[in-house]
A and B are shown apart, each in its own frame.
Chain A
Amino acid sequence: MSKQLFVDPNERRASGYIHFEDIPVNQYKKTVKDEVGNFTKEQLVNIYRDMLTLREFETMINLIKKTGEYNGVAYNHPGPAHLSMGQEAAAVGEAFHLDVNDFIFGSHRAHSDILAKGLSAIEKLSDEELLDIMKNFLDGKTYEVIKDEPHESVKDIAINFLLYGAMAEIFARETGFNRGLGGSMHTFFTPFGIYPNNAIVGGSGTIAMGAALYKRVNRKPGIVIANIGDGSLGRGPVLEALNMAGMGQLTKLWEDDMKGGLPVMFNIVNNQYGMGGQTVGETMGYDMPARMGAGFNPNQMLAERVDGFNPLAVIEAYGRKKKLLLEGKGPALLDVVTYRFAGHSPSDSSSYRTKEEIAAWEAQDPIPEYRRQLIEAGVATEAECDAIVEKVNASIFRNFKLAIDEKISPRMDLAANPDAIADLMFTNGHVESFGAPGQKCDVNMTIEENPRVQAIAKKERWGFEKDGKLVSKNKVYQLRDGLFEAIIDRFYKDPTLVSYGEDVRDWGGAFAVYRGLTEALPYHRLFNSPISESAIVGSAVGYAMAGGRALVELMYCDFLGCAGDEVFNQMSKWQAMSADIIKMPVTLRVSVGSKYGAQHSQDWTSLTAHIPGLKIAFPATPYDAKGLMAASLAGTDPVVFFESQRIYDVGEQFHEGGVPADYYEIPFGKADVKRPGKDVTILTFGAVLYRALKAADELKDKYGLEAEVIDARTLVPFDYDCVIESVKKTGRLVIVTDACERGSFASEVARQVTEMAFDYLDAPPVVVASRNWITPAHELEEAFFPQPSWIIDAINAKILPIPGYENTTDQSLAKKLSNESKGV
């Protein structure tokens, strides 16, 4: 929404037609002979060399997968191998114009892409730069292995480095590009501009778009390419990325040098198939993927089909497209026609296609064809070509032998160092700013001038009046103010910080946390995203991979599923999968609803806590909200930050003296005793704290029991020490959560505490959670969400019978068993 743009009914209701430009299809027809003057001999020959390198690399893997040996040397590679024989011209053509500032993100079938990009980068880097990169990477471990291999130049060393680093990674060796933690589908090497490849089909769509956003916002040179398949265009997140990369505000609302569609190329590696599904004629309706571009924005994403069997055609297209993207005319979509000769993977018997079809494409194999053209154009002789073949094959074979040598290329020793992977799950950094030296924070005013900041200054930072009454909502400093303070603070410290999500600008976020930020920040740091949960989270992941810090949000927790892959596979995994080469400073705010029925009231904290690699916060007070948000935004790890809509307006009732105006952080993994007691421990997650306190009041006033109320504050890491200390004292534990009971994190804590503090327990830890139902209407919610009385019922029925207390709910085993047998 934006008041600048007048929505004119006359214009919107006017009649007319949408006109499409013609989409070029394979218009480039030249051969080497035609281009001789436009390239050096070396460039033309290297195109051949590079295609050969890609082919032999894949042939090697294909042979060890299928025959168990390569050139007579046996090796067993049990991991994945999605090979790309046939796609070399497309990869080499794409890489030709790219330099290290241009980033590629790819798919499961990325060996050719990374090698081509690496070879191109090596051509463009100076010897000093290459040596510097190689020697500094992983403390020089990879470089050590290959530095004395036969070479005539530093570039030769670098090629060995590239081949060896990729092979060692594919074979899960510690000397590989990601210490063997990425593997075949995730091999990458950022110093050459080779960014993560994704085993989730289309996963790179949103991520590459986010990296392009980073380049734009931080004024970084270069473009970003998403190498994704023709099949991936069926995936929702890819469509979300195509749209968001060219959303109207980029040209209509963003200012000055920020204007223009994002510099991202969706490079559709159109090999005609998904796994077995034929995209044209069977699974997709586009007929030609290039058609897709026409639907997304008026410049039709500069869409075009190019002949990916002719490296020169792809080079030519990239020459034009790169220029347009750098001019802010993006995004672009290229439909690169190619064909994979081998199966989807070595186990694929190609039952979905005929031998004749494969033979027909092999007859036009780009590598012999290009060699023919080289010789025909007089650029190289047969003998020169043979020499290149020999050199390439020898180099692959040598590096292969190094990469499978257990001594030279050991695997991570998890027996000697069992925590090697555990220690990579989080980077636990503290970074004030990811900005380049001298990079300024783009803001519209000073913090002091901000109207929200001025309004907050008049608020009461401690939640109680002198007489003990709660300060009125209008006067009190609320939880949403705590969030705001931490967020605006970081916006003025880290120029790379951006924030976006649905309705965050102008509106101020659906729950008014961001009121005042619109005034403070230009569009490119705070903007309304399309209603594209996958793209919101996926692009934040790409933004962080490229080097920035992102704060994005999902308006309701219930929409988490829409961003499932991006949260569960992308945000969470890339630090460890990259051996921490990549940092993931992404904070994902997730608002937990109530009152809005079955699809707007769910607490799904447990889902995120289940996923390794995410830190999870769920504060319940203004003091905690500010401190935890500050810690999230200064950290280097991905955080899912849950907020409850029930309590955005609460004042601070626990931290004596109220919420400090100064900056402070609350560390993750420290629970907080909100009320000390000796008889029973009540552990809460999020807003349910306040209902637990009510129960504690009643326990004390009516039954003389002193409950110790602990607020978990963070689920991951979780402060077991605090809970166990309390249980040692009380012997009794009730865990309360608004999440549905089955599989909840509360149940997880119950199990863990049972193991950890068994001898101290006077009863099993009891979970008081929401029903395993749909959330009913607000008027019926009391039957669904935990109530104070449920907590006392649980204590009376399962922990410590309370004389004179009558349960308000059916706590019998029979009832429980009957519910369970019904699956509720």
Chain B
Amino acid sequence: MAVAVIMPRQGNTVESCIITSWNKKVGDKVNVGDILFAYETDKAAFEEEAKVAGTLLKVLYEEGDDVPCLENVCVIGEPGEDPDAALAGGSAAPAAAGAAPAAAAAPAAQPAGNCTPVIMPRQGNTVESCVITEWHKAVGDTVAVGDQLFSYETDKAAFDCEAEVAGTLLAIFYEEGSDVPCLDNVCVIGEPGANPDAFRPGAEQPAPVVAPEAPAAAPAPAEELAEAPVTIGDLKISPRARKLAEEKKADLSKVVPTGPDGRVIERDVQALIDAGKVIGAAAATEVAAPAAAVALGVPCDDSYTEPMSNIRKVIARSMVASLSTMAQLTHNISYDATEVKNARAMFKAKGEPFGMDKISINDIVMYVVARTLMQPEHRAMNANLIDDGKTMKYFRGVNLGMAVDTDRGLMVPTIFNADKMSLKQLSDTAKQLARDCKEGKISPDYLQGASFTVSNIGSLGIESFTPVVNPPQTGILGVCAMKDAFRMVNGQIEVYPSMNLSLSYDHRAMDGTPASKFLRDLKNNLENFTLMLAKG
């Protein structure tokens, strides 16, 4: 079928563009992606690529012509086809261009049949793009609702994308390993034979053809709209609906607007939430990577390569950056954990009615760390060294990073404003964040912004280690195992619980003495935990 190519509208203020050169002439074969012609506005120059393959059947404007935006410029089709058929149906002949209504042109590539594009979801406000790690379906495969289409990850977390419509996978626009801008179309599902090209990223979206006499607000029935995903940038949404969506992490890409003039209103977001369409939900079922078994004792040159997962690449990058850009060193200290241990025992024994029986030693350490960091003399420890080491950014609250081990690797979610939390709040928050990380639900928004980090590998029995500072932070505290220690009291040997703390810090940000003082104060505070708790 012959298809007309229009002059795109380059921005709202542009009325027309000048064709600067033709790269094809009538009769030439055209492949998808071939440059048809170049054109410019008074501000910038562009090239128009073919979106369909075929033969250039007709050219309506010559080089140097000033073409009103959305006007037909040329026609591509099968040799012998009547090019004017593509121009019929409303678009004015160029002779009458001056008087033609600007929006009457037919779109370049109408989706044939019923197609639904699948977008790359936006996982949190700060994420710009995601990398596709694996395709689970190939073009031509049939897809049922709920089938996994592809897996993808950000630099902080991994996710799966499930199909929300059934059909055939018609097109894949991005291969494994591609870094896909959020909200871009990734693939298209539809009826076999339908043309998915209109959804190819960068393709002109078919402009809705609005009959001029049509009543202004004739909302389409909800069922028809139900499956069409929404591009969030264009979303008309009420402030209240937006607020609710943000609070409940509703996935606005799936919203069906029912408000006046297609506005998304509160009830539409509520419908999403009720249907469980919230960001992060799809990633709940994660396939654990199978462990490769290698027979021991058999000489083996049988090896295989595997690309590093994105998350490992990120960890690798930041660890190397940390060790190569910073002057890092570690101090160790131990403290008498009697009070901490007793408190923990007490929470466990009597805390249940208060929901406080799960408060861990690590929660207690973090609670005390947050408060010790707030002592004004330790501000360099609760800071970021930014700007190529030229600027210190001090925080007026503690955003406490917390190292969490997950199947996918190390993750460091942040407990924001930890210094303002009660022990219970802090503990609850830490548990929630750890759970979200392990389940792959964590929003990337929580994987950033820390001013100091605590890493605890004490449960593995580690007695001392060198934690690596997360740039641009200036310090990280390693929490080690608790063990019995001995001391002489009045000539008697006394046993007491002791715990090691390993503090790595950036010598560029502070010297050894202040760092040592921080450790000393932390030790004192932990040994007087009850007082710290009372102080709040």
Chain A residues with a Cβ under 8 A of chain B: 731, 758-763, 797-801, 812-814
Q: Which residues of A contact B267 (CB under 8 A)?
A: 800
Decide yes or no whether B25 CB sits under 8 A from chain A. Answer: no
Decide yes or no whether B241 CB sits under 8 A from chain A. Answer: yes
Give bound CA distance, A189 to B107, whole Å: 80
Contact of B238 among A762, A801, A812, A814 (CB under 8 A): A762
Contact assessment for A762 and B258 in the assembled complex, using a CB-CB cutoff below 8 Å: no
Contact assessment for B258 and A760 in the assembled complex, using a CB-CB cutoff below 8 Å: no
Q: How far is the CB of A723 from chain B (nearest CB, A)?
A: 15
Q: How far is the CB of B250 from chain A (nearest CB, A)?
A: 14
Give bound CA distance, A349 to B263, whole Å: 64
Contact assessment for A761 and B260 in the assembled complex, using a CB-CB cutoff below 8 Å: no
Give bound CA distance, A103 to B250, whole Å: 73
User: Taking CB as reference atom, which chain A residue is nearest B242?
Assistant: A759
Decide yes or no whether B220 CB sits under 8 A from chain A. Answer: no
Contact of A763 among B242, B243, B265 (CB under 8 A): B265
Contact of B258 among A761, A801, A813 (CB under 8 A): A801
Q: Which residues of A contact B258 (CB under 8 A)?
A: 801
Q: Which residues of B contact A762 (CB under 8 A)?
A: 238-241, 259, 265-266
Decide yes or no whether B33 CB sits under 8 A from chain A. Answer: no
Contact assessment for A798 and B240 in the assembled complex, using a CB-CB cutoff below 8 Å: no
Q: Which residues of A contact B265 (CB under 8 A)?
A: 762-763, 800
Q: Which residues of A contact B242 (CB under 8 A)?
A: 759
Q: Which residues of A contact B240 (CB under 8 A)?
A: 731, 759-762
Q: How far is the CB of B536 from chain A (nearest CB, A)?
A: 31
Contact of B216 among A799, A800, A801, A812 (CB under 8 A): A812
Residues of B258-285 contacting chain A, CB below 8 A = 258-260, 263, 265-267
Please classify how large the interface on chain B is, using the bins under 10, 10 to 19, 20 to 34, 35 or more.
Answer: 10 to 19
Identify 12 residue pairs between A and B in the complex whose beta-carbon atoms are under 8 Å apart, listed by A's number.
A731-B238, A759-B239, A759-B240, A761-B240, A762-B238, A762-B240, A762-B241, A763-B259, A763-B263, A800-B259, A800-B267, A812-B216
Give bound CA distance, A798 to B260, whole Å: 6
Give bound CA distance, A760 to B243, whole Å: 8
Decide yes or no whether B90 CB sits under 8 A from chain A. Answer: no
User: Taking CB as reference atom, which chain A residue is nearest B266?
Assistant: A762
Contact assessment for B260 and A731 in the assembled complex, using a CB-CB cutoff below 8 Å: no
Q: Which residues of B contact A812 (CB under 8 A)?
A: 215-217
Decide yes or no whether B355 CB sits under 8 A from chain A. Answer: no
Q: Which residues of A contact B206 (CB under 8 A)?
A: none
* Given A763-B265, A800-B267, A812-B216, 5 additional A-B pairs, CB 8 A: A731-B238, A761-B240, A762-B240, A763-B263, A801-B219
Chain B residues with a Cβ under 8 A of chain A: 215-217, 219, 238-243, 258-260, 263, 265-267
Give bound CA distance, A799 to B261, whole Å: 10
Contact of A797 among B241, B243, B260, B266 (CB under 8 A): B260
Q: How far is the CB of B241 from chain A (nearest CB, A)?
A: 6
Contact assessment for A814 and B239 in the assembled complex, using a CB-CB cutoff below 8 Å: no
Contact assessment for A761 and B216 in the assembled complex, using a CB-CB cutoff below 8 Å: no
Q: How far is the CB of B252 from chain A (nearest CB, A)?
A: 15
Q: Which residues of B contact A800 (CB under 8 A)?
A: 259, 265, 267
Q: How far is the CB of B264 from chain A (nearest CB, A)?
A: 10
Give bound CA distance, A760 to B242, whole Å: 10
Q: Which residues of B contact A761 (CB under 8 A)?
A: 238-240
Q: Which residues of A contact B241 (CB under 8 A)?
A: 762
Q: Which residues of A contact B263 (CB under 8 A)?
A: 763
Contact assessment for B259 and A731 in the assembled complex, using a CB-CB cutoff below 8 Å: no
Contact assessment for B238 and A763 in the assembled complex, using a CB-CB cutoff below 8 Å: yes
Contact of A759 among B215, B219, B243 (CB under 8 A): B243
Give bound CA distance, A43 to B240, whole Å: 78
Q: Which residues of A contact B215 (CB under 8 A)?
A: 812
Contact assessment for B217 and A797 in the assembled complex, using a CB-CB cutoff below 8 Å: yes
Contact assessment for B260 and A763 in the assembled complex, using a CB-CB cutoff below 8 Å: yes
Given the known A-B contacts A759-B240, A763-B265, are A814 and B216 also in contact in the complex, defined by CB atoms under 8 Å? yes
User: Taking CB as reference atom, which chain B residue is nearest A814?
Assistant: B216
Q: How far is the CB of B236 from chain A (nearest CB, A)?
A: 11
Q: How far is the CB of A524 from chain B (nearest CB, A)?
A: 59
Given the known A-B contacts A800-B259, A801-B260, are A760 and B217 also in contact in the complex, defined by CB atoms under 8 Å? no
Q: Which residues of A contact B219 (CB under 8 A)?
A: 801
Give bound CA distance, A800 to B241, whole Å: 12
Give bound CA distance, A800 to B243, whole Å: 17
Give bound CA distance, A761 to B217, whole Å: 21
Q: Which residues of B contact A814 (CB under 8 A)?
A: 216
Interface hub of B217, B260, B267 (most chain A Cβ within 10 A): B260
Give bound CA distance, A761 to B239, whole Å: 6
Q: How far is the CB of A149 from chain B (nearest CB, A)?
A: 56
